[in-house]
């Protein structure tokens, strides 16, 4: 057996070390609130392992609140609490460019919404959620109702907007057109900051004053603490393997958790580089904006968190199309009495085919049925059964999102190659 086959079998059938690996093309940016209105304020840059700190931006920050990269423009936006501004800086050097927006009532979070526009939260109670085009053109207020001390926002799968209030300890819901839909959460919180929805549709809330991240279901019902042991939790982002990074102001660190809430370690250790009080955490993959799908991706891929299953990917460059085969298992184990003449009763496989552009492929899932092993008859048949979207960060990492109609399943899977042999060919084709 050659070395490549050995690697493939080993990766499929051996239990690998937990999801601790961090991709090496990643950069971590952390906004430091310092001693609040007294500073000092810095935007720090760390490498993929939370090491080698740099002061990416250290002047003119006026209590920074959030960090947003616009890769296609080569800029990063920083919201500034004390001056009411959102400022453009060069994404590579951190050099000042100009002002993106001014005259905002103490801006906190900035985030691109489902409509591709920039949403801005003002802290002051007289402020409403504002929208801007990505070139800085103001579009006015999005909401008619103010949210006092607003500091966290996210959207559900129906594109309803949710906004947290720090001092009111609530989360308010707005329709996709900005109409007030009332308080979604009005209890079990002490001082919420960032909020985000998970793949199950639950809302997770960083409770800055409550030393935890709290979980609420799709109706706003409290489900319990998801993460604990935090102090002044503010700033959150997600690694490609699903791990969660959260700023921990009480210790001046950035903590890493597994997707199930298990604490891994301090990725950025307390005070590294002079970090005092993180209030925004942003992961950047600089290569991904320039990445293009090419035949060097043809390989076996898998998620280290689910050994024993995986994908084969084939790129057809002349037609701009991709084929994917997914080898997995049923959603529940079959009864022990169920037998199979070939293979294992729980085995399942799916195929998907579609077009790609840049770093993204959109594939239609095909369910094939009715055949018999190595026989022309009976005829097999195929029917459409959902969609798979692949987004590649680089030659060794991608995110696969799926929506399988017949099973009612949807979610996201971070994947990587089983063996690195073809990475060089992929990189040479960029």
Pairing between β-strand 27-32 and β-strand 138-141 as defined by DSSP bridges: unpaired
Tell me the C-alpha distance between 23 and 239, whole Å.
8
pLDDT score of 15 = 34
Question: Would you say 109 and 153 are in contact if contact means Cβ atoms under 8 Å apart?
Answer: yes
CA dihedral 51, 64, 216, 387 (to 10 degrees): -70
pTM (2 decimals)? 0.67
Q: The tokens of 57 are what?
A: 């931006």
Mean pLDDT score of the chain: 90
Question: Would you say 121 and 98 are in contact if contact means Cβ atoms under 8 Å apart?
Answer: no
Residue 41: phi and psi, rounded to 5, are: -115, 140
The secondary structure of the chain, three-state, reads: CCHHHHHHHHHHHCCCCCCCCCCCCCEEEEEECCCHHHCCCEEEEECCCCCCCEEEECCCCCCEEEEEEEHHHCEEEEEECCCCEEEEEECCCCCEEEEEECCCCCEEEEEECCCCCEEEEECCCCCCCEEECCCCCEEEECCCCCCCCEEEEEECCCCCEEEEECCCCEEEEECCCCCEEEEEECCCCCCEEEEEECCCCCEEEEECCCCEEEEECCCCCEEEEEEECCCCEEEEEECCCCCEEEEECCCCEEEEECCCCCEEEEEECCCHHHCCCEEEEEEECCCHHHCCCCHHHCEEEECCCCCCCEEEEEEECCCCEEEEEEEEECCCCCCCCCCCCCCCCCEEEEEEEEEEECCEEEEEEEEEECCCCCCCCCCCEEEEEEEEEEEEEECCEEEEEEEECCCCEEEEEEEEECCCCCHHHHHHCC
pLDDT score of 175 = 97
Q: How many CB atoms lie within 10 A of CB 158?
A: 10
Tell me the C-alpha distance between 247 and 234, whole Å.
5
Q: What is the pLDDT of residues 374-423, one digit of tens each?
A: 888 888 778 888 999 999 988 998 999 999 988 888 888 999 999 988 89
Edge-to-edge, what's the strand order for the sheet holding 27-32?
54-57, 42-46, 27-32, 278-284
Share of the chain above pLDDT 90, in %: 71
Q: What is the pLDDT of residues 210-230, one digit of tens each?
A: 999 999 999 999 999 999 999
pLDDT score of 221 = 98
Tell me the C-alpha distance between 77 and 86, whole Å.
6
In the block, tokens 């998907």 appear at: 352
Tell me the C-alpha distance between 412 and 402, whole Å.
6
pLDDT score of 346 = 63
Residue 71: phi and psi, rounded to 5, are: -60, -40
pLDDT score of 379 = 80
Q: What is the pLDDT of residues 326-335, one digit of tens each?
A: 999 887 777 7
Walk along the chain (430 residues) and give the pLDDT tens digit of each residue: 444 444 444 444 333 333 334 444 689 999 999 999 999 999 999 998 999 999 999 999 999 999 999 987 889 999 999 999 999 999 999 999 999 999 999 999 999 999 999 999 999 877 799 999 999 999 999 998 999 999 999 999 999 999 999 999 999 999 999 999 999 999 999 999 999 999 899 999 999 999 999 999 999 999 999 999 999 999 999 987 789 999 999 999 999 999 999 999 999 999 999 999 999 999 997 655 567 899 999 999 999 888 889 999 999 999 999 999 999 988 777 777 877 777 777 678 899 999 998 889 999 999 887 777 888 888 877 888 899 999 998 899 899 999 998 888 888 899 999 998 889 889 888 7
Q: The tokens of 360 are what?
A: 């993204």
pLDDT score of 126 = 79
- Please, what sign has the CA dihedral across residues 304, 310, 311, 312? positive
Domains of the chain, CATH where assigned: 27-286 (2.120.10.30), 290-428 (2.40.128)
pLDDT score of 287 = 55
CA 250 to mean position of chain CA atoms: 24
Tell me the C-alpha distance between 315 and 418, whole Å.
17
Question: Would you say 120 and 139 are in contact if contact means Cβ atoms under 8 Å apart?
Answer: no
Q: What is the pLDDT of residues 171-214, one digit of tens each?
A: 999 999 999 999 999 999 999 999 999 989 999 999 999 999 99
């Amino acid at each position: 057996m050659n070395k490549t086959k050995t690697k493939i079998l080993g990766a499929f059938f051996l239990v690998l070390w937990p999801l601790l690996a961090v991709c090496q093309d990643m950069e971590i940016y952390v906004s430091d609130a310092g001693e609040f209105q007294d500073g000092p304020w810095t935007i720090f840059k760390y490498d993929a392992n939370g090491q080698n700190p740099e002061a990416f931006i250290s002047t003119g920050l006026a209590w920074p609140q959030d960090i947003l990269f616009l890769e296609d423009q080569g800029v990063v936006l920083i919201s500034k609490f004390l001056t009411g501004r959102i400022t453009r800086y060069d994404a590579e050097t951190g050099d000042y460019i100009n002002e993106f927006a001014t005259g905002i009532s103490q801006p906190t979070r900035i985030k691109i919404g489902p409509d591709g526009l920039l949403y801005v939260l003002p802290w002051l109670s007289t402020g409403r959620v504002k929208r801007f085009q990505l070139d800085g053109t103001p579009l006015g207020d999005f909401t008619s109702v103010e949210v006092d001390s607003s500091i966290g926002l996210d959207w559900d799968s129906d594109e309803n907007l949710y906004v947290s209030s720090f001092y009111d300890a609530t989360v308010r819901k707005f329709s996709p057109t900005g109409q007030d839909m009332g308080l979604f959460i009005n209890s079990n919180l002490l001082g919420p900051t960032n909020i985000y929805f998970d793949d199950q549709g639950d809302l997770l809330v960083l409770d800055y004053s409550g030393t935890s991240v709290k979980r609420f279901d799709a109706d706003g019902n409290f489900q319990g603490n998801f993460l604990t042991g935090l102090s002044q939790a503010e700033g959150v982002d997600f690694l490609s393997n699903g791990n969660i990074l959260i700023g921990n102001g009480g210790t001046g660190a950035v903590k890493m958790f597994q997707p199930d809430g298990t604490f891994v370690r301090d990725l950025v250790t307390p005070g590294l580089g002079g970090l005092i009080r993180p209030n925004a955490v942003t992961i950047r993959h600089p290569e991904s904006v320039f990445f293009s799908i090419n035949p060097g991706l043809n390989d076996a891929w898998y998620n280290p968190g689910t050994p024993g299953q995986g994908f084969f990917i084939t790129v057809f460059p002349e037609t701009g199309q991709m084929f994917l085969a997914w080898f997995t298992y049923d959603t529940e184990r079959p009864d022990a009495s169920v037998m199979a003449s070939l293979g294992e009763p729980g085995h399942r496989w799916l195929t998907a085919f579609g077009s790609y552009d840049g770093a993204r492929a959109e594939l239609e899932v095909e369910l094939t049925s009715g055949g018999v092993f190595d026989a022309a008859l009976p005829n097999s048949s195929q029917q459409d059964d959902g969609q798979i979207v692949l987004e590649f960060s680089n030659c060794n990492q991608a995110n696969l999102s799926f929506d399988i109609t017949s099973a009612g399943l949807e979610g996201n899977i971070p994947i990587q190659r089983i063996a690195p042999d073809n990475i060089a060919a992929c990189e040479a084709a960029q």
